[in-house]
Amino acid sequence: MPRLSKETWADVRAEREAGASFGELASKYGVDKAAIVRRAKAEGWSDGQDVAEIIRRKVTEKLTGTSPTAPEKKAAAIDAAADRAAEVVRRHQEETNAARERLYAGLKAHKAAFTKDEKVLAFEDLKAAKITAEALAIIQRLERINWGLDSGQQQGDVVLRHNLRIVGDSD
């Protein structure tokens, strides 16, 4: 029996997850059926029934450029994905703080205004700050969904994530 390269194993996996049977793959690649079954089980291959999950995994692989299977690679990939997600959260915190400061400044200016013109200008600034804060909240909500940062998301949700989802791990 021939020893398959990583690239060939990736092809075998892709075909299995597209619905090919173990027997078909064994015949096509000249490998023992049991070897394919063992590898599929060890790496958590799909049988082609859950196409949405396969697409999500492939998208993640393309976005991250990795498909980790070794524990060291998994750990490094998880750490890198966590770093990227943490940067999103840090940016959200900075943006939220800036929006809060702008709203408080508008409230303070409106309270301190004496003339009608000053009150109108302060009110317009406050309206602009409110619109900015609301737009920022929408953007951040969409980013949190896209990055899978909120714990309320269900695993079955069809969401393309920029962070890493390890193949074969269950949540």
Determine, yes or no, domain membership for 12: yes
Query: Domain tally for the chain?
Result: 1
Distance separating alpha carbons of residues 171 and 161, to the nearest angstrom = 15
The pLDDT value given to residue 52:
65
pLDDT over threshold 70, residue 116: yes
The pLDDT value given to residue 158:
41
Distance separating alpha carbons of residues 103 and 135, to the nearest angstrom = 14
End-to-end CA distance of the chain: 36
pLDDT tens digit string along 28-44?
999 999 999 999 999 88
> For 114-128, what is the mean pLDDT?
93
Determine, yes or no, domain membership for 131: no
Distance separating alpha carbons of residues 140 and 94, to the nearest angstrom = 12
pLDDT confidence band for 127 (50 / 70 / 90): very high
The structure tokens 């998880």 sit at: 78
pLDDT tens digit string along 130-169?
999 999 999 999 998 888 888 755 433 444 444 444 444 4
What is the span of the domain harbouring residue 14?
A: 6-49
pLDDT tens digit string along 55-109?
677 777 776 666 655 667 767 777 887 888 889 999 999 999 999 999 999 999 9
Is-contact 136 92, C-beta < 8 A? Answer: no
118 or 57: whose pLDDT is higher? 118
* CB proximity list for 140: less than 8 A, separation 6 or greater: 92, 95, 96
The structure tokens 């000249």 sit at: 30
* CB proximity list for 84: less than 8 A, separation 6 or greater: 162, 163
DSSP state of 45: -
